[in-house]
Amino acid sequence: MFLDVAKLAGGSDRRIEILKSAAAAFRRRGYHGASVDEIASALDMTKGNLYYYFQNKEEILFACHDYSLDVLLTLMEQVRAEESPPDDKLRKLILAFVHMLLDELQGTALTLDLQALSPLLLKRIIAKRDRFDRGLREIIQQGIESGLFRPGDAKLIGFAIMGAVNWITKWFDPAGPMSSEAIGRGFADYLVGGLFALPASYSAVSPGFNSNT
């Protein structure tokens, strides 16, 4: 079920360790706010040593994004290959995304500063991100066209879902009362369940408000 994340980054174990430490630091302090020394110290190594594995700080940020996106794209391919209705696909995607985000990627996916990358590297990351976005929109669009979901702008809905999910890292507390599974289920219930076509009585005009509190 789970991906072999180590193989995706195309690097040694040490490179992966560095990426995880860097991702955590970038998430906490932002790209510019996190120092190279901070990333290295967390691994009990000197900052100079990082430059044996990466050319510079920017390459580390790039690798973080590239790594996360590879994980997400592999996930997307798995889901797309399935023979199931769009709501099932979407639900599975959200569940897995949340799990990846919180349990595997340490809360770091698309939250990291993109604009800190130079144009060339930025372009490559955006291209990958767009592949994921398009896959997501396709699933939503299929649901709408089949009549399972009510009409809507698939692109807008896709952005809304991505925003809701990525935002989790801003408030999630691993030591808090909510498990990543519970969050995934709650989000899937709301974000997928909210797409279904509604009977006529639920159209633009809201139904009678029956206050019984």
Partner DNA sequence: TCACGATTTGAACGCTCGTTTAAACTGGTG
Partner DNA sequence: CACCAGTTTAAACGAGCGTTCAAATCGTGA
By beta-carbon proximity to a second copy, the closer residue of 52 and 201 is: 201
Residue 144 is which amino acid?
A: I
**Chain centroid, CA 107 distance in Å:** 9
Q: Applying CB under 8 A, does 94 fall inside the site for a second copy? A: no
85, 122, 124, 138: which one contacts a second copy (CB under 8 A)? 85
By beta-carbon proximity to a second copy, the closer residue of 8 and 178 is: 178
Residue 66 is which amino acid?
A: D
55, 84, 146, 179: which one contacts DNA (CB under 7 A)? 55
CB of 140 to a second copy, least distance (A): 10
Q: Applying CB under 8 A, does 159 fall inside the site for a second copy? A: yes
By beta-carbon proximity to DNA, the closer residue of 37 and 130 is: 37
By beta-carbon proximity to a second copy, the closer residue of 13 and 151 is: 151
Within 57-116, which residues bind DNA (CB under 7 A)?
A: 57-58
What is the distance between the alpha carbons of residues 99 and 87, in angstroms, rounded to a whole number? Answer: 18
Q: Binding partner of residue 181 among DNA, a second copy, none, CB under 5 to 8 Å per kind?
A: none
The contacts of residue 21 (CB under 8 Å, 6+ apart) are 39, 40, 42, 43
Q: Applying CB under 7 A, does 14 fall inside the site for DNA? A: yes
What is the distance between the alpha carbons of residues 156 and 193, in angstroms, rounded to a whole number? Answer: 17
User: Which listed range, 14-22, 54-62, 98-106, 166-174, lies at the site for a second copy (CB under 8 A)?
Assistant: 166-174
Asked if 69 and 125 count as a contact pair (C-beta separation under 8 A), the reply is yes
* Residues at the interface with a second copy (CB under 8 A): 28-33, 85-88, 113, 115-116, 142, 145-148, 150, 152-153, 156-157, 159-168, 170-171, 178, 183, 186-187, 189-191, 193-196, 198-199, 202, 206-207, 209-213
* Residues at the interface with DNA (CB under 7 A): 12, 14, 32, 34-37, 44-49, 51-52, 55-58
